[in-house]
């Protein structure tokens, strides 16, 4: 794609900022620096390590309801075996750091292409540390690295996008949404067929590898309303007026238990169905695809499903930071404002977890305020992103028209 702009020169600043902020994250992970609130590294040193020991016996954790991940998650949990000279948690943190660096490298490399820019790399440099040590104490950053690689590869290679999206989906489900914005016609056929073949092959391999590959489906089905979700705000507020429910540790997270919780969980599922319906309608109506549409559609889709989920764990926000970073690699993206809102939400998330998690559990004024602000920012970002995606791709918007015979991989719309 020719744009008339010279490639972006970034200089050493992104690398320096990345090194400083990641040194702080590692210091937090290794407890050299202490962040207020619960110890977020326990998930790695205790839970992941326990799963690691079970997986080494040749089976998935069939008796552990906290195992709620697709079979590919076993690769992330087993990955510290690549560094056997270090203790499990140390090896895990180092591998997450490597994935973090890989994402930065991909974004900077993409930003040097004509028509691209370094803004996406800066979103990643700034956004990840805003989430605090939790981002290094979960495997979600690894999954995000796969998603970023998929979208950037998909600019020129739809089949690579499909294969990587399928692999990511078998790690944690949500990367399947990367396929929603692929340009119609031959790119869609290439990406979706590649995803289907890769997904089917890997799923079969995991099922044959160890028993219990899909036991996680039952555990996910039985989850309730987690206290950080949008729907949970109903009960946080209701507790101020004498609601008789309580907070319990269930399925690996703090959930509300009590009257009407099942109803709110069902409504959340209904909202997710509505979000899916909107995405299908958008897919049917969209005609004006551009080179950045797959990234913008993926960002919008993941925002919608995150907001409507029964669970909004802090580490979910790193998905959004990664997708926002890819969107901002492209000049002229419509997702600048939603991306900024996600970055602010990331900072509020750190205040909510781990720093203020005791206030959230207690549903006191500070905890409820943090949740209202964080979830409100994410909800606003999802609605703005959906509106902008629709206006930039669906015919009939004033100021846009289709470009006849636009070359594959190049913009298929212009503004008058």
The pLDDT of residue 412 is 41
pLDDT at 37 > cutoff 60: yes
Mean predicted lDDT score pLDDT of the chain: 91
The pLDDT of residue 293 is 97
The pLDDT of residue 132 is 97
Adjacent-strand bridge partners of 415:
400
pLDDT tens for each residue of 336-376: 999 999 999 999 999 999 999 999 999 999 999 999 999 99
The pLDDT of residue 410 is 41
The pLDDT of residue 397 is 46
* Alpha carbon distance 291, 394 (integer Å): 15
**CA contacts within 13 A on the Cβ side of 119:** 16
The pLDDT of residue 7 is 54
The pLDDT of residue 416 is 27
The pLDDT of residue 253 is 86
Q: Helix H segments across 210-292?
A: 216-221, 232-238, 261-285
Sign of CA dihedral 341, 113, 166, 289: positive
pTM: 0.92
Whole-number CA gyration radius for the chain: 21
Q: What is the mean pLDDT of residues 189-215?
A: 93
The pLDDT of residue 6 is 52
Adjacent-strand bridge partners of 141:
none
Band of pLDDT at residue 400, cut at 50, 70 and 90: very low
* Alpha carbon distance 324, 148 (integer Å): 10
Per the CB < 8 A criterion, the answer to whether 62 and 108 are in contact is no
Per the CB < 8 A criterion, the answer to whether 227 and 247 are in contact is yes
pLDDT tens for each residue of 44-86: 999 999 999 999 999 999 888 788 899 999 999 999 999 999 9
Band of pLDDT at residue 251, cut at 50, 70 and 90: confident
Q: Cα–Cα distances in Å, from 207 out to 44, 50, 71, 176?
A: 25, 21, 8, 19
- Minimum mean pLDDT among 45-54, 83-92, 248-257, 317-326: which range? 248-257
The pLDDT of residue 9 is 67
């Amino acid at each position: 794609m020719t744009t008339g702009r010279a490639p972006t020169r970034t200089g050493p600043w992104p690398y320096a900022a990345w090194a400083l902020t990641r040194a702080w994250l590692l210091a937090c992970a290794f407890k050299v620096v202490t962040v207020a609130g619960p110890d977020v590294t326990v998930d790695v040193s205790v839970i992941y390590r326990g799963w690691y020991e079970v997986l080494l016996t040749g089976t998935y954790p069939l008796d552990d309801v906290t195992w709620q991940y697709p079979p590919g998650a076993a690769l992330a949990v087993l990955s510290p075996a690549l560094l056997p000279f270090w203790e499990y948690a140390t090896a895990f943190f180092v591998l997450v750091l490597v994935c973090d660096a890989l994402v930065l490298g991909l974004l900077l490399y993409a930003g040097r292409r004509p028509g691209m820019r370094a803004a996406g790399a800066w979103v990643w440099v700034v956004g990840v540390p805003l989430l605090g040590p939790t981002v290094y104490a979960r495997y979600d950053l690894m999954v995000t690295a796969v998603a970023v690689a998929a979208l950037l590869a998909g600019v020129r290679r739809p089949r690579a996008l499909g294969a990587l999206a399928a692999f990511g989906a078998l790690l944690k489900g949500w990367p399947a949404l990367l396929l929603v914005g692929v340009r119609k016609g031959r790119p869609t056929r290439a990406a979706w067929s590649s995803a289907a073949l890769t997904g089917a092959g890997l799923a079969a391999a995991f099922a044959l590898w160890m028993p219990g590959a899909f036991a996680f489906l039952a555990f996910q089905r039985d989850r309730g309303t987690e206290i950080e979700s949008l729907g949970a705000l109903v009960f946080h507020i209701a507790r101020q007026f004498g609601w008789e429910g309580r907070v319990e540790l269930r399925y690996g997270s703090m959930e509300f238990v009590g009257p009407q919780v099942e109803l709110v969980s069902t409504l959340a599922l209904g909202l997710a169905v509505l979000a899916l319906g909107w995405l299908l309608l958008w897919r049917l109506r969209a005609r004006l695809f551009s080179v950045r549409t797959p990234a913008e559609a993926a960002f919008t889709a993941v925002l919608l499903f995150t907001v409507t989920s029964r669970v909004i764990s802090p580490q979910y926000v790193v998905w959004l930071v990664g997708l926002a970073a890819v969107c901002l690699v492209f000049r002229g993206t419509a997702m600048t404002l939603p991306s900024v809102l996600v970055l602010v939400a990331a900072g509020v998330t750190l205040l909510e977890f781990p720093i203020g998690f005791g206030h959230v559990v207690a549903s006191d004024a500070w905890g409820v305020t943090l949740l209202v602000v964080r979830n409100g920012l994410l909800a606003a970002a999802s609605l703005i992103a959906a509106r902008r995606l629709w206006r930039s791709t669906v015919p009939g918007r004033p100021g846009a028209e289709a470009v006849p015979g636009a070359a594959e991989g190049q913009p298929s719309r212009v503004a008058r």
